[in-house]
Structures are given as C-alpha cells and as structure tokens.
Amino acid sequence: MSGTSLDGVDAVLAEFSADGTSRLLRTHYLPYPDALRAQLLALNAPHADEIHLAALAANQLARLYARAVQTLLDGLVPHNVRAIGCHGQTLRHRPADGYTLQIGNAALLAELTGIAVVADFRSRDIAAGGQGAPLVPAFHVHAFADPGLHRVVANIGGIANVTDLPAGGTVRGWDTGPGNLLLDAWIGRHQGERYDRDGAWAASGQTDAALLDVLLQHPFLAQVPPKSAGREQFNLAWLDTTLAGLGRQLTAADMQATLLEFTAASLAEAVIRECAGTQELYVCGGGAHNGVLMRRLAARLPALRVDTTAALGIDPDWVEALAFAWLARQAVLGVPGNLPSVTGARGPRVLGAIYPA
C-alpha cells in the first residue's frame, strides 16, 4: 500500500484461512526516495509531458514494490505466495468524471517477482457507479466488527475515512476530509520535515477559531455519503487561498495547530452526524501515532472509547496494506470486494485486474 501521504510503501505478508480471517506474518516499510516523492507530488497536478513522466514513475514504483516483496520473502519461496495485492500510487481520483488512476506497472512487478499481481482495484467499482473508495471497509467488517457493539474504524492517512460498523446494522464508510495531508504539506513547507512527529509542532501553536470555522465550510464536508476525496479537494493552493481570504496572518505554528484541529473536527463531526449510537472508535494509519490528534479526537467524542486498532489485535501501521492483501484474495477467488452501501456502486463487484506470474 502507498497512499496519499506519499511517504513510502507499507508491505505485509499475510495468510488467510478459508473464512477470510487473516494472520499477519511479516511486515516491511520502504520509504520513497526524495526524488521519486517529488515526481509523484508534481504528477498530482496537470504537468507537461505527464503521460511519459507517469509511465517512468510507474516503473520506478514497480521496482520499489519488488524490493519490498523481496525483503518480506527473505528465506521463503515466491511460488508459495498466491498473489500480490498492489494498490499503486494514486495520481487522480475523480469518480464524478468516471475514472481513477493508480500507477505502479503491475506487469513489471509480476515479471520482477515471479508472483501474480492484482492491481487496479478501484476502477470496477467506479464503472458500476460507485466512488471507488473507500475500499477498506469490507475488510474492516472481517477484522473488527463485533455483533454486540457499535464500532467505528477511522483510517487517518493522507485523507481520513471511517467505517461505521453498527451491531447488526448496515455497514457504511466514506472519506471524512483531510487526515495528515495538509499537516504534512504545511510542515514540509515551513520546516522541511515530512510529518509533525506526535503533533509536537501543532501543540506549540494555538488553534485559530475563525480560520477553523472557515475550513469547516469546505463543501466536501457538507456532502452526504457515499463520498471520497483526495488532493483535488484538499491542497496547499486551496489552503493559501482560504488563508488569504481572512485578511490577516497567522504564525506557522498556529496554522499547524488549526490544521490538526480541522482533521479532528471534520472526522468527529462526521461520526456524530452519521454514526448515532457509536460506542467505540478505533484509529489506524499514520494518524494513530499523532498523540495530540488522538487526544483531540477523544475530547471531541467524550462519550466514546477512543483507541487504536492495536487494541483489537492489528497494529495500526499495517491495517490498510493487510486490507489490500485481503482484496487480492477476493479477486483471486472471484469474490466481490466492494460494499455497495459504502461506495454507492450498483452492486457487489469483483475488484482488480490480475497479472499472472
């Protein structure tokens, strides 16, 4: 898995039982080289010669994915692996226009590893009228649902999304707004860091209530699910325009504090508005390591138990990669991997294209 945070590759080796229950065998994280990360970030916007540059970046990604696979399989036989589930790197996600684009050259990855690859998971759901995202809620049902409890699982990566798991009710899921994306971009601009470790810089500033109110007026937040978002909606250009509209300056630290509160508020308000009766909220993704963000979520949701998915037996760093391993299994078995109640698709669909070994 490599997501909108553009930080690197999360890779897992997983084993599944006949009922889809997962066992995490090995994990590996491989950071993106700075040059590749810069190329991918540039390709998220219209770019001169972008088809050629995207194809070259896809080849680099395939080689990086192959390195991650080789590390995972150290001492093991590749033929014992049924398939690689490869999400690829999203460059565009525009379901309203009928498409999504994740690059990664799955054919080259199959060639380099000698293992079948399942890729392009999102396109079939979009073809069926869905958002193509989020896809992980189907896995969350298997991994985290409890018949006696109303739980919500929040994945806070670049974009934040939630899975609503009511006891005996309909499973729903959608993107709630920015996760770490704006926080990472702001600290990158001002301090040259990739992320705000434990929210320490945000904690040094003060939330600006007026700006927070303006940010919370973003039209995406008012849309009803199903819905999905990406860099198209939340980016530094939008943030700069919004800040300029206030007609005054904030310190960089105060801006970081306000952006952290924006993530917490947009996610918490989505839970309050759409997930009545929730008892527990479990967080996965990079945001689970941001102590300040976790405390702000807990403060905004005082009636809920707020914890990470580690409390349910899966380290929050590996939930999403494990989900795409599960989705690859679904594809190989010819079993649907989407939840129409989440994505809005016309019905269940088998997701992904298979590139044989």
CA–CA separation, 293 and 248 (whole Å): 26
What predicted TM-score, i.e. pTM, was given to this entire model?
0.94
The domain segmentation of the chain, as residue ranges, is: 8-132+318-355, 137-312
**What is the token pair recorded at 117?**
């690859």
Q: What type of residue sits at position 165? A: L
Place of tokens 């006891």: 167
CA–CA separation, 81 and 70 (whole Å): 12
CA–CA separation, 7 and 232 (whole Å): 18
CA dihedral 140, 145, 150, 155 (to 10 degrees): -20
**What is the token pair recorded at 172?**
């729903």
Fold of 8-132+318-355: Nucleotidyltransferase; domain 5 (3.30.420)
Same fold, 8-132+318-355 and 137-312: yes
Beta strands in the chain (DSSP E): 8-16, 22-31, 84-85, 89-94, 99-103, 117-119, 151-156, 159-165, 172-178, 280-284, 305-308, 353-355
Place of tokens 């001169």: 48
- Written as tens digits, the pLDDT of the chain (357 aa) is 998 889 999 999 999 999 888 999 999 999 999 999 999 999 999 989 999 999 999 999 999 999 999 999 999 999 999 999 999 999 999 999 999 999 999 999 999 999 999 999 999 999 999 999 999 999 999 999 999 999 999 999 999 999 999 998 999 999 999 999 999 999 999 999 999 999 999 999 999 999 999 999 999 999 999 999 999 999 999 999 999 988 878 999 999 999 999 999 999 999 999 999 999 999 999 999 999 999 999 999 999 999 999 999 999 999 999 999 999 999 999 999 999 999 999 999 999 999 999
Fold of 137-312: Nucleotidyltransferase; domain 5 (3.30.420)
Q: What digits encode the pLDDT tens for the residues 269-323?
A: 999 999 999 999 999 999 999 999 999 999 999 999 999 999 999 999 999 999 9
